[in-house]
A and B are shown apart, each in its own frame.
Chain A
Amino acid sequence: MKMIYKVSVERCIACGKCELACAFAHGSEGRPSKTRINIHRRGPELGTPIVCFQCDDAACVTVCPTQALVRNEETGAIDMIRSRCISCRMCVAACPFGNMLWDEVYNCVQKCDLCGGEPRCVPFCPTGAIAWVPIEEAVLPPKPLDRETLDVTP
Chain B
Amino acid sequence: MPTLTVNGRKVTVGDDVYILEACRAVGVEVPTLCNFNGLEPWGGCRLCVVDMSLAKWDDDWFKLVTACNHPVEEGMTVLTASERVLATRRVVLDLLLARCPETPLIQQLARDLGIEETSYELNPEPTDCILCGLCTRVCDHIGVSAIASTDRGWGREIAPPFNEPPPDCIGCLACAEICPTDHIKFSTSNVARTIWGKDFEMLRDPMTGEAVITKAQAEHFARRSGVPKTYFETSDKSKRLEVAKTFEKLQVIK
A3 within 8 A of B: no
21 contacting pairs across A/B (C-beta < 8 A)? A9-B247, A9-B250, A9-B251, A48-B248, A59-B227, A62-B226, A62-B227, A84-B37, A86-B174, A86-B178, A88-B217, A92-B213, A92-B236, A93-B212, A93-B213, A94-B225, A94-B231, A95-B239, A98-B238, A102-B236, A107-B177
Of chain A, the residue at the smallest CB distance from B252 is: A10
A83 within 8 A of B: yes
Of chain A, the residue at the smallest CB distance from B233 is: A93
Shortest C-beta distance, A148 to chain B (Å), equals: 8
> For A100, what are the chain B residues with a Cβ–Cβ distance below 8 Å?
236
Chain B, 217-244, CB within 8 A of any chain A CB? 217-218, 221, 224-227, 231-232, 234-244
A-B Cβ contacts below 8 A, count: 124
Measured in the bound complex, the distance between the Cα atoms of B250 and A65 in whole Å is: 37
Shortest C-beta distance, B170 to chain A (Å), equals: 10
> For A138, what are the chain B residues with a Cβ–Cβ distance below 8 Å?
none
Measured in the bound complex, the distance between the Cα atoms of B172 and A85 in whole Å is: 13
- A42 and B248 contacting across the interface, CB-CB below 8 Å: yes
B254: which of A48, A68, A102, A145 is its contact (CB, 8 Å)?
A145
B72 within 8 A of A: no
A66 within 8 A of B: yes
- B247 and A90 contacting across the interface, CB-CB below 8 Å: no
B253 within 8 A of A: yes
Contacts A9-B247, A86-B174, A98-B235 given; does A50 touch B141 at CB 8 Å: no
A72 within 8 A of B: no
> For A83, what are the chain B residues with a Cβ–Cβ distance below 8 Å?
36-38
Measured in the bound complex, the distance between the Cα atoms of B36 and A102 in whole Å is: 21
B142 within 8 A of A: yes
The proximity string for A residues 140-152 relative to B, scoring 1 for CB distances below 8 Å and 0 otherwise, is 0000111110000
Measured in the bound complex, the distance between the Cα atoms of B178 and A10 in whole Å is: 43
- A98 and B231 contacting across the interface, CB-CB below 8 Å: no
Measured in the bound complex, the distance between the Cα atoms of B232 and A100 in whole Å is: 12
B78 within 8 A of A: no
A22 within 8 A of B: no
Measured in the bound complex, the distance between the Cα atoms of B178 and A46 in whole Å is: 42
Measured in the bound complex, the distance between the Cα atoms of B37 and A101 in whole Å is: 22
> For B251, what are the chain A residues with a Cβ–Cβ distance below 8 Å?
9-10, 12, 46, 48
Contacts A67-B38, A93-B232 given; does A88 touch B172 at CB 8 Å: yes
Give A contacts to B, CB under 8 Å: 9-10, 12, 38, 40, 42, 46, 48, 50, 59, 62-63, 65-68, 81, 83-90, 92-102, 107, 144-148
> For B55, what are the chain A residues with a Cβ–Cβ distance below 8 Å?
none
- A94 and B178 contacting across the interface, CB-CB below 8 Å: no
Give B contacts to A, CB under 8 Å: 36-39, 138, 141-143, 172-174, 177-178, 203, 212-213, 217-218, 221, 224-227, 231-232, 234-244, 247-248, 250-254
> For A99, what are the chain B residues with a Cβ–Cβ distance below 8 Å?
236, 240
A40: which of B37, B236, B240 is its contact (CB, 8 Å)?
B240
Measured in the bound complex, the distance between the Cα atoms of B235 and A101 in whole Å is: 10
Shortest C-beta distance, A50 to chain B (Å), equals: 5
Nearest first, the 3 closest Cβ-Cβ pairs linking A and B are A66-B38, A98-B239, A84-B38
- B38 and A86 contacting across the interface, CB-CB below 8 Å: yes
Of chain B, the residue at the smallest CB distance from A146 is: B254
Measured in the bound complex, the distance between the Cα atoms of B244 and A100 in whole Å is: 16
> For B225, what are the chain A residues with a Cβ–Cβ distance below 8 Å?
62-63, 94
Measured in the bound complex, the distance between the Cα atoms of B173 and A126 in whole Å is: 42
> For B217, what are the chain A residues with a Cβ–Cβ distance below 8 Å?
88, 90, 93
- A85 and B38 contacting across the interface, CB-CB below 8 Å: yes
Contacts A40-B244, A146-B254 given; does A63 touch B227 at CB 8 Å: yes
